Structure 1
Amino acid sequence: MSEESQYSEHPGGWIEWFCAHEDHQFLSEVDEEFIRDPFNLIGIKGKFNFFNEAISMILQPTSPEDQDLEDERFLEVYQEASDIYGLLHARFIFTSKGSAIMRERFLQGKFGHCPRIYCEKQNVIPIGLCEDLKTARIKVFCPRCEEVYMPKKKCADIDGAYFGKSFPQYLLMTYPDLHPKFQLLPDTQIQVDFEPTLFGFKIAGKQGSKIKKIEQQQQYNHTITQSNISSIEQNILLQEQKQYRIQKQQQHQEQQEDHQQQSDQNKEQTHKKKNKKKHKH
């Protein structure tokens, strides 16, 4: 295939065309200068068979035509180009420019919202649960409940390695204003735990929030554990006190026996002296 047959005269180029796919809406456009920098390619080149062709495809100023997408050779290079771009994307979003772009997209809710009702449609951040390709699909992280969920938006062929495990925490640490506690409006009331009621009355046997129930169970277990520890410590103390009293009683008894024995010896000596005096007279 010649390059003329592979690409149309679309002014947006391959990167813009690739990121414009419906399933690629989480991806940002990586600067060409960043892609051309050999330093940013370290550790990536050896993983691919068509690396040079894939890089050339990524940097094309025009987008593919429909007929190119039916060519097997093109599709092989395209698959590698997608993964190479994804790995470069995972590095680009850790730069000052890349993280700034992701920050704006996060604030606009481009990545979706947390499905947990008490997070009140908190904006989420893309995350990959593994740094290796073809291991885990993209997920989203909620900074309020700090849980990971499947994204509601279509991201069928977005690999989790295109973002990595560390990106949400990096974004929150780089921009502290993104943390939910800085987003609450004055006088905003947030109900943390759900408690089921019927016409305003509590329902017997209903505990409400499972999260709250788990926390209460953990607190109860901790209390019971502490109580057991205190009980054990108290029993040990009582045993030590009992042993101490027994030892004291034994010592006191021994002292009494010694005293009685000494007294008997004194009496015996006194009696002997009296007998000697009588014998002399």
Structure 2
Amino acid sequence: MNNEISDDNSDMIISDSDSNSEESIEDLNWIQTFLEKPGNQIFVEIHMQYLTDRFNLVGLNKYCSEKMSTMLKLMTDDIDFLRGEYSSMSSIEKRMLDKECAKLYGLIHARYILTYQGQYDMMTLYSENIFGKCPRSACTGTPLLPMGLYDVPEQDSFKLYCPCCEDVYRPAHITQGLELFSGFNGSVLSEYKRYQQAFDYPVEKHLTLRDSELPLGKNLDSEGDDLNIINQVLKFNPNIDGAYFGTTFPHFFLMQYPNVVSGEEKPKQRFIPAIYNFDLHYNSQILRYQELKRQQLEEKLSKEYDPKLIKTKSKKIFTSKTKMYT
């Protein structure tokens, strides 16, 4: 299908085992290394107790090519495994194992963010606008929530859901908090430090790694102005699988935190296409139909949630049942 994730770029950001080779085995922290990679700021840290509970991993082994026990040993930084079997692996085997661990972490992440602690951790990211803001003008910059269109991996990349307009957007088209830097014209290092203070991300380490990937004689400073360099750090990885968040998360999150977007804040105005201030007939007809249906639905919901009507309905149901038994 057209929306499938490309295998060539799927592990572009979410898995990178080359940087781990420079670190000593004792200092290796797989989860922290995974979360610190650029683009992975949309993930939360899964607690070790949840990660090692086999009940939470039921049914996930069919999506991974490596053994579940081997992946968990690497993800939990098992010293015996790292000094023994892992140290004897080739660089290709380590990269494949790291890629499968990133996939397993994402699948567990989709389940973890439905727990109370996971919802709280995602609320922290949501309050910091880590997922960007809605591009629709009527939503006035409502923060977005990540979600997937499928619960099965390798079907489609993750999307961003707006609680205000209740629509879904592609992450590649969402700019992420660039207003923090738009009015600043200082040095590149100052921009890096401001970003690091705002998002607690080791930018200097990332830029060192990225410099090594550029052609000989070039570095990030010569690739563009300060804002473009910061934009490279802020940019989402559009190839992250949507199954790492699932179809349930944003709606369950809004049930847990209903005050995030109140009903009064949701925009009711619609954009009407016009030529020289004359509405287009066909489009206007569709908009009038949608507006009529919206008003009918609002009236229906207001009646259903009216306490007086609920009491009268319950009385009628109760009396009808008593008549049946008499």
Which TM-score applies when normalising by structure 2? 0.55
Q: Which of 47, 59, 71 is the equivalent residue of 1:43?
A: 59
Aligned counterpart, 1:181: 263
Residues 1:108 and 2:128 aligned together: yes
Name which of 69, 72, 91 aligns with 1:55: 72
Instruction: Label 1:216 to 1:30 Cα distance change in 2 as closer, same or farther (>3 A).
Output: same
Q: CA deviation at 1:106?
A: 1.1
2:34 is matched by which residue type in structure 1?
F
Q: Distance in 2 between matches of 1:87 and 1:133?
A: 8
- Label 1:69 to 1:97 Cα distance change in 2 as closer, same or farther (>3 A): farther
Identity %: 29
Distance 1:12 1:105, change over 3 A: farther
Structure 2 letter corresponding to 1:97? Q
Task: Measure the CA separation in 1 of the matches of 2:251 and 2:65.
Answer: 33
Query: What are the Cα deviations for residues 193-219 of structure 1, in whole angstroms up to 9, with x where unaligned?
Result: 34689xxxx9342459x6x75331456
Question: 1 or 2 for the larger relative contact order (CA 8 Å, sep ≥6)?
Answer: 2
1:156 aligns with 2:228: no
TM-score (norm. length: structure 1): 0.63
Paired letter, 1:167 = F
Q: What is the distance in 2 between the residues matched to 1:93 and 1:46?
A: 21
Unpaired runs of 5+ in structure 1? 222-281
**Superposition misfits of 4+ residues, deviation over 6 angstroms:** none
Asked whether the equivalents of residues 23 and 155 of structure 1 are also in contact (C-alpha less than 8 Å), the reply is yes
Partner of 2:118: 98
Q: Is the 8 A contact 2:147 2:246 kept in 1?
A: yes
Name the CA distance, whole Å, in 2 between partners of 1:157 and 1:71. 23
| Structure 2 alignment gaps of length 5 or more | 1-19, 83-87, 175-234, 294-326
| Alpha-carbon spacing, 1:119–1:43, altered in 2? closer, same or farther (3 Å) | same
24 and 69 in structure 1: CA distance in 2 versus 1, 3 angstrom threshold: farther
* 1:53 alignment partner AA: T
1:143 aligns with 2:225: no
The reply to whether residue 203 of structure 1 matches residue 280 of structure 2 is no
What's the RMSD between the two structures over aligned residues?
Answer: 3.5
Matching residue's letter, 2:287:
E
Structure number, greater radius of gyration: 1
Secondary structure in 2 aligned to 1:126? strand
The match for 2:48 is: 32
* Aligned position for 1:166: 248
Confirm or deny that 1:22 pairs with 2:38: yes
